[in-house]
Chains A and B, each alone.
Chain A
C-alpha cells in the first residue's frame, strides 16, 4: 500500500490538470501478479522433467493418470479451502470431516438403504452442513477460524468412530458406489470417473472465484474486511456462505475417498487438511488473505502428488518423501514472501 512510484510530471504542457497524476503504473507490473503461478507452474514442469529422466516408469500415460487420481481427493479439499483461505480464514476440519462424510455415506447407503443418488447427495449436503456450522461459529459467534475449525476437526474425528462403531462400513447394498471414483471412462485406458469429477470441480471453483459475486466478496473480505463491511456488504452472511461452500467440497471429497476404497474407513483424515492447505499455499494463495487462485491451488496439489509419486518411483523411502514435501512448502512460501517484499 505504500507509494512505490511517485507520479511523474509530464514535461509538455498537458491538456488537463489531471495529467500530473496520469503517468500511471507500468503495464508490465500487472504481470507480476501471475508470477507466482508461473513460478509454481515452472517448478511443476521442472519436477516432472526431472522424474521423467530419473525413471522411465514416470512419464507414462498410466502413471500420469495415477498421479491425477492420487491428487483428486486432496485437490478437491484444497479447492474449497482456497476460498476460506482467501478470506483470511483457515479450515482445519476438512480432513476429519471428509472421513465423517464417508461414514455418513455408509450410514445413508448401507444402514438406511437409501438409493445411491440420494445417499451421495445427502453426504455432500452433510458436508455443507458442517461447513455452515463452521461459518456460524466463525462469523456469528466470532470464534477465531483456527480454533473453530480445530474444535470441529476433533468433533468430526470422534463422531466418525462413534457412528461407525469404530469399524469400516462396506457398501454391500450399493456396489455401484465404488464406480463414482473408479469407473473407467475411456475405453482401453484406466481413466477413472473421479478424475473427471475433479476436473469439473476445478472449472466450477475457478468460475466461482473469478466470475461470481461469491468470489468477489471472498477477495474483498480477505483484502480488507472492515472496509468491505463499511461498504454495506453483509460480511457475516458471506463468510457463512463461503465456509458452507467449502463444506460441500469436503462432502464430495468424502464420497470420492470412500468410493475409492469401496468402504467408509472411520479412522484417519487427520493431516489431510494440512496437505490441502499446503497445496493452496504452494499455489500462491496468501494465508493473510486477499490473494490466491484456483489455478495456483491445482498446480500446488499436482506438485505434491507428483513429488510423492515420483519419489516412490525412484525408490526414495517413504520417510524421505515427507521431508521432501516439507522442503517444497518452505521454499515455495519463502519465494512468495520474497516476491511480495519486492512488490510491496
Chain B
C-alpha cells in the first residue's frame, strides 16, 4: 500500500511550510507527503503544530512560507470552502454541525437543492443524502435532526459531509476521542472504504495502538518542526514516543522528589464526575509541588474544577488538613484556603479592565471593608504595592489596568490575588501558557518560592519538561483516570508519556 510507483508525485505534498503567530513560531519549515491510497498518521505532543498544519490545509490560515502540492501541482488554499472544492476535507475535533438542522440539510448546507426560485426541494436533498449514505454504507436517516444523534452518529454526518465534496484528501483530527470500541471499528471500516488509489487520509491521534491498526506511515512533529516519518509496520510505540518527546531534559535543577512528610494539606479520594473523571485520588503536602501531566482532554483541568466546586462532582471526598470538607463552589474553596488559577487567565483569572490593585484584593475584598461597607482604598493600595514588590510585577503603578500588562505579569497578578487571600493550597492550571520564555523562568522561581514557604502547590501543565523540572511528584492522567503518581526521580518523559497514553480497555469516555 505504501510503495509509490517511482516517478509519480505523491497525492499531497507539504514543503517548507512555516507559520508564525505573535510570540510563537507554530510551524517551522515543515514537510510531509501523503501517498496515494495510504493512511498517514500525524503525531506530536500538545503544541507540536499539528492543528496549525491542519488549519493551513483547511484554508483557515495562510502560510508565511512554503508550498502545498496535490499530484505534483501547486495548490492555493483560499478559505475553507475553496480547500474543500480542491478535494481537501477536514473533520475537526469539535464538530461543525448545525444541531437544529437535519442530517441532509447539514451535509448540503450552502449547496441546497433548489426548486423554483428561492424554494427548496428537501425531498431531492434527502434523496441525494440517501444516495451518499448508500454509497458509503452508512445507516443514517437524512431527515433526522442532528441534535438527536449520538456523538458517534454526528461524526458519521461530518464524514459524510466531507466525502460529499468528493474529497481526495481526508484529514481527521482525533476522530476517536468520543467514540466507543464498536464505533471506532465502524470508523476504521469507513476509512478503509474511503481509501482508494486516488485518495488518502491524514489521521491525527494520540492513541498509539490505533496508529498501529489503521496507519501505513507515521509522521512526527515536535515544537513546530518536522522530525521523522516512520513506516508503521517497522516501528514500535517506544520509538514513536521518544521521537515525539525528543527534547533534552532541562538542566540538573530538577527537584529531588523527596518523599513528602506529614499530614497532607489537601487530599482527594475517589473523585468522579459524570462526564469524565473516574475515581481520582491523591494527596498534596505542604511545601511540595504536585505536577499533573497528561494529554489534552485527559481530565487534568476537570480535576481542578471539580475540587474547587466549579463543576459538579458525582462522588468523591475532599479533605483539608485531614478534615472532610464540603465544597460546592469556588467561594467555598477559597474560604478553605484553596485557590484555583485558571488556564484561561483572560476569561476567568483577571478583570482586564480593572486596576492591578483591585485585581489583587478581589478575592479578599471583605477584608478591606470599613464602616457601612465602604471600601478602604488606602489599605487596598498598601496591599497592592506590597505584592507588586514581592512578586516583582512590572507595572508603573497599582492603578494600571491589567489589560496593559504582559502575560507574565498578568499571571503574577492572579497569583498575588490568591496570596492576598492567604491560601494554603494553590492550584495552577497552565501557569505559563502564553507567556514568553523569560517570564516563564520567573514564574517557575515563584512557584518554587511559594512551595518553600510551605504552600501546597498543584501544577497542571501540558508541557512535560516544565512538569519534570518543577514538580516533586508527578500525577499522570489518561481519559479521566489517574494512571500513575511518580516521584520526580523516577519520572522520565518516556514513562510519563507511556502512562499518559494508557487508555482503558473500553477505550472511551462515553458512559
Q: A residues within 8 Å of B by Cβ?
A: 1-7, 9, 16-22, 24-25, 29-30, 33, 211-216, 219-220, 222-224, 226-228, 230-233, 290-291
Contact = CB atoms under 8 A, between A and B. Distances in A.
Given A6-B511, A290-B100, A233 B150 contact: no
21 contacts: A1-B147, A6-B510, A6-B511, A17-B185, A17-B186, A21-B153, A22-B139, A24-B144, A25-B144, A213-B112, A216-B101, A219-B101, A220-B109, A223-B98, A223-B99, A231-B80, A232-B80, A232-B81, A232-B110, A233-B109, A290-B99
Contacts of B99: 1, 223-224, 290
A216 B186 contact: no
Nearest to B149: A25
B101 A226 contact: no
B180 A233 contact: no
A228 B99 CA distance: 11
B148 A216 contact: no
B369 interface: no
Contacts of A226: 96
A227 B98 contact: yes
A213 B109 contact: no
A223 B98 CA distance: 5
B97 A216 contact: no
The 8 closest A-B pairs by CB, nearest first: A232-B81, A223-B98, A227-B96, A223-B100, A20-B182, A290-B100, A22-B139, A232-B110
Contacts of A228: 98, 109-110
Contacts of B105: 216, 220
Nearest to B141: A24
Nearest to A291: B100
Contacts of B139: 16, 18-19, 21-22, 24
Interface stretch (B24-32, B114-122, B322-330, B349-357): B114-122
A226 B178 CA distance: 22
Contacts of B148: 4, 25, 29-30
B97 A224 contact: yes
Contacts of B511: 3, 6
A21 B182 contact: yes
A3 B151 CA distance: 6
Given A16-B137, A220-B101, A228-B98, A213 B114 contact: yes
A108 to B, nearest CB: 29
Contacts of B151: 2-3
Contacts of A21: 139, 150, 152-153, 156, 182-183, 186
B152 A7 contact: yes
Given A29-B148, A212-B119, A220-B101, 15 more contacts: A4-B148, A7-B150, A18-B137, A18-B189, A21-B152, A24-B139, A25-B149, A30-B148, A213-B114, A219-B101, A220-B105, A224-B96, A232-B84, A232-B110, A232-B111
A204 to B, nearest CB: 12
B100 A7 contact: no
Contacts, number: 119
B120 A18 contact: no
A209 to B, nearest CB: 11
A6 B180 contact: yes
Contacts of A18: 137-139, 186, 189
B145 interface: yes
A236 B96 CA distance: 18
Contacts of B118: 212-214
Contact of B98 (A3, A9, A220): A220
Nearest to B274: A2
A231 to B, nearest CB: 5
A33 B98 contact: no
B134 to A, nearest CB: 11
B511 to A, nearest CB: 6
Given A216-B112, A220-B109, A7 B182 contact: yes
A337 B118 CA distance: 34
A201 to B, nearest CB: 17
B182 A231 contact: no
Contacts of A290: 98-100
Given A18-B139, A21-B153, A21-B182, A231 B114 contact: no
Nearest to A17: B189
A233 B110 contact: yes
B417 to A, nearest CB: 30
Contact of A211 (B96, B120, B178, B180): B120
Nearest to B115: A211
Contact of B186 (A1, A20, A24, A212): A20
Contacts of A211: 119-120
Contacts of B110: 228, 231-233
B415 to A, nearest CB: 34
Contacts of A230: 80-81, 96
Nearest to A232: B81
Contacts of B189: 17-18
B183 A213 contact: no
Nearest to A224: B98
Contacts of A24: 139, 141, 144, 153
A3 B152 CA distance: 9
A67 to B, nearest CB: 32
Residue from the set A16, A19, A33, A231 with the largest chain B CB neighbour count within 10 Å:
A231
B120 A231 contact: no
Contacts of B84: 232
A211 B111 CA distance: 15
Interface string B488-511: 000000000000000000000011
A24 B183 CA distance: 13
A21 to B, nearest CB: 5
Interface string B456-489: 0000000000000000000000000000000000
Contacts of B182: 7, 9, 20-21
A6 B109 contact: no
Interface in B206-241: none
A126 to B, nearest CB: 23
A16 B151 CA distance: 20
Contacts of B100: 219, 222-223, 290-291
A287 B151 CA distance: 25
A304 B183 CA distance: 49
Nearest to B96: A227
Contacts of B111: 232
Nearest to A222: B100
A9 B147 CA distance: 21
